[in-house]
Amino acid sequence: MQTAEIQRRWLDFFEKRGHTVVPSASLVSDDPSLMFTVAGMVPFVPYLSGLVPAPYDRATSVQKCIRTNDIEEVGKTPRHGTFFQMAGNFSFGDYFKEGAIGFAWELLTTSEEEGGLGFDPNDLWVTVYEDDDEAFELWQRLSTLPDERIQRLGKDTNYWSTGQPGPAGPCSEIFYDMGPEYGIDGGPATDDDRYVEIWNLVFMQYQVADVKSKTEFTILGELPKKNIDTGLGLERVAFIKQGVDNMYEIDQVRPVLDRAAELAGKTYGASHEDDVRLRVIADHVRSGLMLLADGVTPSNEGRGYILRRLLRRVVRSMRLLGFEGPSFAELFPVSRDAMKSAYPAVERDFDFISRAAYAEERTFLRTLASGSQILDAAVDAAKGAGTSVPGDTAFLLHDTYGFPIELTLEVAEEAGIGVDREVFRSLMQEQRDRAKADAKAKKGQRADLSVYKELRGLGETSFLGYDQLEAESRVLGIVVDGVPVQEAHEGQIAELVLAETALFAEGGGQDSDQGTIVGDGFTAEVLDVQKPVPGLIVHTVKVTLGTIGLDQRAETRVDHDYRRGANQAHSATHVVHAALRQVLGSNAHQAGSYNKAGYMRLDFTHSDALSTETKSEIEEISNLAIRSDLEVVTREMALDDAKALGAMALFGEKYGERVRVVDIGGEWSRELCAGTHVGSSSEVGMISLISESSVGSTNRRVESLVGFEAFRNFAAERAIVQQLASGLKVPRSELVSKVQDLGGQLRAAEKRIAALEAERLGQRVPELVAGAERIGAFSVVSSSLGSVGSADDIRGLVIKVRERLGAEPGVVVLAGEAGGKPVVIAATTAAGRESGAKAGQLVRVAAQVLGGGGGGKDDLAQGGGTDPAKIGEALAEIRRTLAG
């Protein structure tokens, strides 16, 4: 049974039993405490917790999920994957234990011919919470399981909670017995891999507090509305139904594994090490495909860093299999074809997906080449000294260059040396500790969303700001310092929840409105407007006059000038996006934006920097669209209807069943957008591109001033041009050539100065050679040159002095200050190296004193630091080293 067929049967089964089929949410979670959607219940948390009223009594979904906390286990166990699909059925105060258990047993054991999953009841085991007699008795009554295959287990395995005060409850897990050849008898209680958990039924029935750990908490009582949350692992059911041993061999994953094995010339099943690498490749390619399809792009932070890590682990694994060239163009199309029947978007958006993936692979292959040079130098130095590759070098390669530690170990092993893994592990742990501390600090800064639970229960905030800039309303809630209060007094910062508002809450790239909220005897300045939970608009205000009380009349007033500027900027974002696609092609998708009055920023998918001519063309097309006075039309319609019209849905954005479509000039620009806009393109006024830059290997960013801010920018530039033309005494038309002439003169002067400086330093060669001192077996020249033009000047002088030392064991160490930083360069003669002097080691000695680093080969090396005042001390340390 194919994985997509299991998904279809699941949704069909529960839809026929009154469940609303909810499409999978994005892998990018709405929950600010989560980077990704990590479980099938995540999109339903607001309903399960009571924070937001559920729009249906019962629901079902097959949710895309990403978890990377066990990434090192991928490929080593039968069921550890970074991407997986969680099938779930949910009840919000409707059916409870009996319904959940009945549905589960019916779907699992109904024959395939009758639309079920066709499991043999003799292969199934069940666990329940040790004190949950009700669940035990229901399994006895609703299933054919004998009592010995219904096992009672403790809180650590069969009790669910979020780890925070709130809803919790016992759970019941369903296991499949793989058979005696896979492990010992005794059922799930043995915790043996023979028994595969396929379905977890959570009975959310209690309110808990004083949560100290997973097993230590206080039950306050039963919830007023009991909920059901279940999760079935689609991949686990698939590998059982397809008769294979693990999730890497199912229909959606195995094709990538086979193609990777073919490319590397390997046979799957012949080597445990190779098998693990092939599984990692198959899993991570699929995860990368699905993350890219949901708009995540590789970067050095957040979600983008996780994606980058997954893709680079694929490259690493292919190299360890012996395949060193680019492989993504072979692997990603295979994964696309395996996943497209379940997720058509991976085929529809594959052009974007593939370009982003292939660009990341090219970048990493170049990174590996750079890292190899550093590693080769470190290996040579360690081999010559009879030591290991320093742990800090291995960490530098890993952290800065993305060079996997496994490759560092492999290269070192080939050279017959080791790597100081203890130091490497220590530095890695320090990095993890910093990351955890940072994450904990950020988590502590987030407001407790439960404070909005009752407020959201009063209904959805009506946004009236599309049609009016002032709106009468009343105060439904006041929150100060995270606590609901009855009043907010003059001088306080408070959060206000109103029944209606004309003020736009930040979203879709558009910053929140500026304005005021006024009422009988009070005035409040609006500082921010946000949607902390779906459907609830919260105004952060500073009370500037009087006292605000609950249920008081309040009027929201939008700053007209600010909204006009915000409308211009948001419409300008759409105009520039359309111009980009006209110039660069339809592959240039928006990948993020931010706009506020007078300014817009747009990220888009493109690998190469834009030429000056291209930027000018985009700016011209944008302003021509403004001059053409194109009509701007906004309509609300069903999401499917909007897509049928060709409205562009942007990567990373989430849409409900009803959406707003914004047309500028009809089909010229047609996008889904909930922001505010001008009535016609001429109202934008003017667009002035001020910046174009890279925001990753596959994304570029343009920034623009809009409207009156664009005019001000042009006026400022005109004033600068006039000042330069006046100061240089040339007409404006000749200004560029005049500046170019001056630049050429300046460069020529700098070259003459550098030549004179080199000549001056060269004249010091006899003096330096004459000042050589005998230290141990070496003739040593060491001196501080003071301020120099560049490190190249010192290097040239060092080589000339070394040539004059002849055949004797000689060492030359010269230092100076270049650009405000200390530079030290060492060189050794052939006889000096035979006597044990190594230039790379000597500059590292000096660099430690100077507060920096350095390295190089035995004959010539360079180091530096931060404190020029310590140059004399650094040279003295080198002399002490040679004497020793």
Buried b (16+ CB within 10 A) or exposed e, 372-402: bebbebbbebbeeeeebbbbebbbbbbeebb
Q: What is the DSSP letter of 340?
A: T
Integer-rounded Cα radius of gyration of the chain: 34
Quickly count: other Cβ atoms within 10 Å of residue 466's Cβ.
14
Instruction: Give 326: exposed, middle or buried? Use CB within 10 Å, 0-12, 13-18, 19+.
Output: middle
CA distances in angstroms from 627 to 36, 574, 665, 667, listed in the order given: 43, 15, 12, 17
**Residue 685 to residue 600: CA distance in whole angstroms:** 14
**Residue 653 to residue 26: CA distance in whole angstroms:** 9
Q: Which of 348, 458, 421 is nearest to 51 (CA)?
A: 458
DSSP 409-429: HHHHHHTT--B-HHHHHHHHH
206 membership: H or E segment, kind and range: strand 195-209
Q: Which two tokens stand for residue 45?
A: 């948390």
**Residue 485 to residue 479: CA distance in whole angstroms:** 6
**In contact, 869 and 850? CB cutoff 8 Å:** no
**Residue 374 to residue 382: CA distance in whole angstroms:** 12
398 marked as binding residue = no
539 marked as binding residue = no
**Residue 797 to residue 353: CA distance in whole angstroms:** 53
Q: What is the DSSP letter of 449?
A: G
For the CA atoms of 671, 52, 161, 10, the dihedral, rounded to the nearest 10 degrees, stands at: -60
In sign, the C-alpha dihedral spanning 393, 399, 402, 406 is: positive
DSSP 765-834: HHHHHHT-EEETTEEEEEEEEEE-S-HHHHHHHHHHHHHHTTTS-EEEEEEEEETTEEEEEEEE-HHHHH
Buried b (16+ CB within 10 A) or exposed e, 45-64: bbbbbbbbebeeebbbbbbb
Strands 699-706 and 599-605 come out as antiparallel
**Residue 163 to residue 208: CA distance in whole angstroms:** 10
The residues facing 150 across adjacent strands are 126
574 marked as binding residue = yes
Q: Which two tokens stand for residue 385?
A: 């000294």
**In contact, 198 and 247? CB cutoff 8 Å:** no
CA distances in angstroms from 190 to 122, 315, 701, listed in the order given: 18, 38, 55
DSSP 71-133: GGGTTTSTT--SEEEEEEEEEESS--HHHHHHHHHHHHHS-GGGTS----GGGEEEEEETT-H
**Residue 811 to residue 772: CA distance in whole angstroms:** 9
577 marked as binding residue = no
Q: What proportions of the chain, in percent to the nearest 5, are helix, strand and coil? A: 45, 25, 30
Task: Compute the C-alpha angle 634/636/639, nearest 5°.
Answer: 120
545 membership: H or E segment, kind and range: strand 536-545
Q: Which residues are annotated as a binding site?
A: 570, 574, 673, 677
Q: Which residues are annotated as a binding site for Zn(2+)?
A: 570, 574, 673, 677
